Amino acid sequence: MPAKARKAAAEPAPRNDREKSVDEIYERIYVAILEHRLHPGTKLGEERMAEIFGVSRARIREVLARLAHEQIVELFPQRGAYVAKPTTEQARDVFEARRLIEPAVLKRLIETITPDKVNRLRQHTELEADAHRRNDKRAVIRLSGEFHTLVAELAGNSALARSMRELCMLTCLTIFLYDAPTAQSCRNDEHERIVDAVAKKDRARAEKLMLDHLDHIEGSLKLDNSNGDADLEAIFK
């Protein structure tokens, strides 16, 4: 191999390539949790995860650190990383935070609403309705969580959108851990009614529907045991 080629091969990947890889792994884990394929309490072993994704353990540590910063993963010295298991107190805190944040998100969305934003929301609720018709439970769970993050993104406040993404993930873990059946915890017409109110710029109704929606989800939770064992390769392959 020519010296120039050897030098190029030895150079580290460009920073944006590294970030893309980290983002991709992060997103794969995020979606696996959102779809309830990755359970609360599951150990995310660095070596096993590195083998599955074909990257270094250092890169996996970077992903896990990011997830830990967002409280999606818990890191324990000498034990490793585990998918978070919210306590009942933490679950109540999450719903309290959502009751404070989501009305503010709706207020900003309605103030900046456009036909394009309404269309995007309606397209999303159509995907949810289709998933319900097909009885695709994984898609229903994922799309239900993504609806709330989409609302925050369309509101145009990056800090609110970031907070909603984290809160929706913690809600997903809480629902899995304390067992709220999908069909009852997130009825397929609730999001549609919220979108209708937003489209009409009826802030009071939109906020009431959202708060009722959150009350309904939290009210369906019950204390349950969870199993932390999972086949990581089957989840990500």
pLDDT of residue 101: 96
What is the pLDDT tens value at each position of the chain, 237 positions in all? 555 444 444 444 444 555 558 889 999 998 898 888 888 999 999 999 999 999 999 999 999 999 999 889 999 998 999 999 999 889 899 999 999 999 999 999 999 999 999 999 999 999 999 998 998 888 888 899 899 999 999 999 999 999 999 999 899 888 888 865 544 446 668 999 999 999 999 999 999 999 999 998 888 887 444 444 556 666 666
Ranges for all domains in the chain classified under CATH 1.20.120.530: 88-219
CATH homologous superfamily of 88-219 equals GntR ligand-binding domain-like (1.20.120.530)
pTM of the model: 0.77
pLDDT for position 1 = 53
Q: For the stretch 165-199, what's the b/e string if a residue is b when 16 or more beta carbons lie within 10 angstroms of its beta carbon?
A: bbbbbbbbbbbbbbebebeebbbbebbbbbbbbbb
Tell me, what's the pLDDT at 53? Answer: 92
> For 193-201, which contacts have Cβ atoms below 8 Å and span 24 or more sequence positions?
194/106, 194/151, 195/118, 195/121, 195/122, 195/125, 198/106, 198/109, 198/110, 198/113, 198/118, 198/121, 199/113, 199/118, 199/121, 201/110, 201/113
- CATH 1.10.10.10 residue ranges of the chain are 3-84
- pLDDT at position 228 is 46
Q: What is the DSSP letter of 43?
A: B
Query: If one looks up domain 3-84 in CATH, what number appears?
Result: 1.10.10.10
